[in-house]
Amino acid sequence: MGDEVSRRFFDAEDFSRFRDRLDEETALLEELFKRNAFSSRGDIAGFELEAWLIDENGIPSGDNERFLERLHSPLVVPELAKFNVELNSSPTALTGRVFARMHDELAATWDRCIGVARSLGDRLVTIGTLPSAPSEIFVAHNMSGMVRYQSVNDRIMALRDGRDLHIQIDGDESLDLYHDDVMLEAAATSFQIHLQCRRRRAVRDFNASLIAAAPLVAAAANSPFLFGRSLWDESRIPLFEQAVDVGRLYPPRVSFGGGYVQESLFEIFRENQLDHLILIPWVRDTPSNQFAHLRFQNGTLWRWVRPLIGFDFDGQVHLRIEQRVASAGPTLKDSIANAAFYFGLVRGLGLSDEAPEKTLSFPDCRQNFYMAAKHGLNAEVLWPENGSLKQVNMRSLIVDELVPLAREGLAAAGVPDVDLDEYLGIIAARADTGQNGAAWQRAWLKQTGGSMSELTLAYCDQQETYQPVHEWSL
């Protein structure tokens, strides 16, 4: 839902017109699926990395307007709150030294961002939930000055009949608070990975992305603290699900989904049309084959694994999968390693003759995801083996089975050993040492007894060494 809207408020006629356009475009998309009329291009990678601007004390700094104006880069855009920004990549083929290319581009963008942040007296940090962020800063005054964010907030609160949002998370400690707008969504920042897939592999790729979500969120967990409480290893997950909750009368806007895809990704776009309310009825004068309203509706449904419709440089319609479960950070190299792990798992799971979802039921897949979000690398999960399921520790699973599987999948895609050794080696070392971002933060706090602000600043110092998190000292 990256497009800006020109109006904040809408009436019944707007909803009716948007519904007509959504129905028309969904019917047209169904025809494309029936005719298999999608781009033949595929195996193209990309990402979005969200970051925080903080001041010298580790407190979020609402400087993103000045920051973005001074940076003036099309690859860096605002996020919901004034203290967040998003760095984007250019699409690149998932072959050859793809991860070195991704890292080099991200590092160049990041270095520019760091320089601009310093010129404003700020620091830039990638982390899932910022330990030092106080709950009282997540208010409408700190919302980015984009109309779409204001409109989303208006609509969600209207659907809730004005009732405050309730955030309730039980971990090592408990968090129980009420909030009167959607700004708490800004307390969670992510590394969102994109895979443009080939039509013939789209179902396998999507279901594999669901299965890969558990090991990915465990390896990438980087959000153990929120508003002074020790919660899940990846507290982003329950926070985001509750921060935009539209109430029990309606299907959730953020979820792991309701099941595997059976025949085609169109099943999800049909669900978007039939089962979910229109959030913002922004009608545009565009041809139906641009799918503007269908894409906008899809953009207001934040599934952890989400299908996307996009366009190639020559206008051909393509299918993408957005994997949203990974936390931001800790370092650029860690983020690219997370991408390599995800792409490798999707390709590796796709090598088997029988789809792994035939053995791992969707309820078990979903349970794995939430167990991994809660316990990180210490999670116990179910995993297919020889046509049945076994219970296994996540660290052992990653080291013994999943990194080799990801390596096999990427090697088959033409990624050379030098990239596989570097980036998948980071994932293996994280699992072997048990030190991802969440584990390092917990260990630092236990050893030092410091404050959340001191933890944030220590984390920033480590991040600026550019060494992957499994090598960080305490």
Asked whether 424 and 341 are in contact (CB, 8 A), the reply is yes
Q: What is the largest CA-CA distance in the chain?
A: 62
pLDDT of 1 strictly over 60 = no
Q: Give tens-digit pLDDT for 177-228.
A: 999 999 999 999 999 999 999 989 999 999 999 999 999 999 999 999 999 9
Residue 409 near residue 349, CB atoms below 8 Å: yes
Residue 228 confidence (pLDDT): 95
Q: E strands within 73-163?
A: 76-78, 84-88, 92-93, 123-125
Q: How confident is the model at residue 2 (pLDDT cuts 50, 70, 90)?
A: low
List, for residues 154-190, the tens digit of each pLDDT value: 999 999 999 999 999 999 999 999 999 999 999 999 9
Domain boundaries, given as residue ranges, for the chain: 12-467
The tokens of 245 are what?
């909750």
Output phi, psi for 410, to 5 deg.
-75, -35
Decide: helix, strand or coil at residue 318. strand
What is the arithmetic mean of pLDDT over 451-462? 98
Classify residue 142 as exposed, middle or buried by CB count within 10 Å of its CB (0-12, 13-18, 19+).
middle
Confidence of residue 386 (pLDDT cuts 50, 70, 90): confident
Percent of the chain exceeding pLDDT 90 equals 94
Strands (E), 280-358: 305-311, 317-323
Q: What is the mean pLDDT of residues 64-83?
A: 95
Q: Which letter does DSSP use for residue 402 in this model?
A: I
Centre a 10 Å sphere on the Cβ of residue 378 and count the other Cβ atoms it contains: 17
> Could you confirm whether domain 12-467 is CATH 3.30.930.10?
no
User: Which amino acid, 39?
Assistant: S
Q: How far is CA 382 from the centre of its chain?
A: 23
Distance CA 217, CA 215 (A): 6
Buried b (16+ CB within 10 A) or exposed e, 263-279: ebbbbbbebbbeebebb
- What secondary structure letter does DSSP report for 315? S
The phi and psi torsions of 50 (rounded to 5 degrees) equal -90, 145
Residues β-bridged to residue 456:
none
Q: Reduce the DSSP state of residue 408 to 3 states and report it.
A: helix
DSSP 254: S
pTM above 0.95, yes or no: yes
pLDDT score for 416: 98
Distance CA 215, CA 365 (A): 11
C-alpha angle with apex 341: 337 to 342, nearest 5 degrees? 120
Distance in angstroms (rounded) separating the CA atoms of residues 139 and 397: 41
